[in-house]
Chains A and B, each alone.
Chain A
Amino acid sequence: MHEMSLAEGILELVEQAAQAQGFSRVREINLEIGALAGVETEALAFCLESVLKGSLAEGARVNFAAVPGEGWCLNCGTTVPIAALYDPCPRCGGYQVQATGGTQMRVKDLLVE
């Protein structure tokens, strides 16, 4: 979804950090994308390539760290792994699972010079 907006959001965070911390080139961008965040990493990589062009991060290597999905099963009263929002609880097979982890999309850190 809306990967172009996300790519622009990433560039903005990078530019803000460059101002605040005084660097002029970004060689690596490390992202954390949750399995339940609704982001296609391939589409995001594609958008980033265009968005970063002409910026201080042009040509930077972009690493995607996948964060596994987690949910709270109301039946079991415990945290269970889930791969999608509509997945049943792997313990009880019920669908009373509220996503609790793997919904984030964050810029974790940068390799800069």
Chain B
Amino acid sequence: MCNVCGCGQGEMRIEGEAPTEPAHVHPHEHPHDHTHGHLHRHADGTVHSHAHAGDHLHYGLGPAHAHAPGLSQARMVSIEQDILARNNAYAETNRRWLAERGVLALNLVSSPGAGKTTLLVQTIEQLRGRVPMAVIEGDQQTSLDAERIRATGVRAIQVNTGKGCHLDAHMVGHALERLDLPEDGLLLIENVGNLVCPAGFDLGEAHKVVILSVTEGEDKPLKYPDMFHAADLMLINKIDLLPYVDFDVERCIDYARRVNPQLQVLRVSARTGEGLAAWIDWIETGRARARAAREDTVNALKRRIAELEARLAAKG
């Protein structure tokens, strides 16, 4: 059980902490009849599933908002809240915490094997000595990635999500408490390798950066649109392999910008270092913005203090 907020996170584990007791046990029985839709294959080869109205809603078959006259104790209660409200509140707390310190936080997302960790290690090599950095590593299991990062001399915390398919803002908040990030630093968050779920979970980062390697299909932005929509920057990685694979970079960029017209794109090879200078520039621009925002806040606070002191002096 977490001392800060009383949470228990099932199999979620932050390195250095004892595993938590499972907080939610949901026995799963199916004592009644229902179907959960079924798969169809169409003549064109596409497969998808249908919900059959009435079949899969296990909760009764009446029309929506059937207010059942006669059962007058029933009443409608307005909620009007985002389902991710809890995550979003933690994300805002993280964002404020980071902004107060002028820290640029990047949330790196990709499918497994796109080269996130290699890119991280190379990025650290390029910035080491002039930028204070820390890394949060998300994986379902093992601390292998955090160990790879620590070998570079940079502070890294591994968060194991257990059965979870994504990092959430609450896990990241706990990792932040342990990282002791210096002002105006850089926080790199390597999310769980997954092109679907991390798209929906704001961690409080400044930007999501999606990494797509040329050994994957160029149509991934269309197949997994949510992630490319959520990202601000796409890094096309492993471009040193372009001569050996059928990957049309221009088509990939076109697909990605159909999903997200504002998406910025850089081509890199974490292995050879090609294109990394532009990526480092992009990071430095973001850091300058984060630093300027912090200084603005500090200056605004100083002005406010000066005003209050002046008023106090006038009264004294």
A residues apposed to B, CB below 8 Å: 1-2, 5-6, 8-10, 12-14, 17, 21, 23, 27-28, 30-31, 38, 41-42, 45-46, 49-51, 53-54, 59-63, 65, 74, 84-86, 88, 95-99, 104-113
Contacts and interface: CB of A to CB of B under 8 A. Distances in A.
B225 interface: yes
Given A45-B56, A53-B27, A1 B199 contact: yes
Contacts of B201: 2, 5
B75 A112 contact: yes
Given A38-B200, A105-B83, A50 B26 contact: yes
Contacts of B84: 6, 9, 105
Given A106-B80, A107-B81, A111-B76, A1 B261 contact: no
Contacts of A23: 75, 77
A10 B85 CA distance: 9
B79 A109 contact: yes
Contacts of B85: 9, 13
5 contacts: A5-B87, A17-B77, A42-B49, A61-B57, A112-B75
Contacts, number: 143
Given A59-B59, A74-B261, 5 more contacts: A42-B37, A60-B59, A62-B57, A98-B261, A109-B79
B74 A111 contact: yes
Interface of B: 24, 26-29, 36-37, 49, 51, 56-60, 62, 64-65, 67, 71, 73-87, 164-166, 168, 196-197, 199-201, 221-222, 225-226, 229, 254-255, 257-262
Contacts of B60: 61
B196 A96 contact: no
A105 B65 CA distance: 19
Contacts of B58: 45, 49
A44 B57 CA distance: 11
Please name the 9 residue pairs, one residue from A and one from B, whose CB atoms are nearest each other, closest first.
A61-B59, A95-B258, A85-B225, A2-B197, A38-B226, A107-B79, A63-B64, A113-B74, A1-B196
B199 A86 contact: no
A70 to B, nearest CB: 14
B222 A62 contact: no
A17 to B, nearest CB: 6
Contacts of B82: 104-106
A31, A49, A54 — most chain B CB neighbours (10 Å): A49
Contacts of B229: 85, 99
Contact of A13 (B65, B73, B79, B261): B79
Contact of A96 (B165, B221, B261): B261
A78 to B, nearest CB: 15
A43 B60 CA distance: 18
B27, B51, B81, B83 — most chain A CB neighbours (10 Å): B83
> Which of A51, A74, A111: most chain B CB closer than 10 A?
A111
A106 B64 contact: no
Contact of B71 (A14, A50, A113): A113
Contacts of B51: 41-42
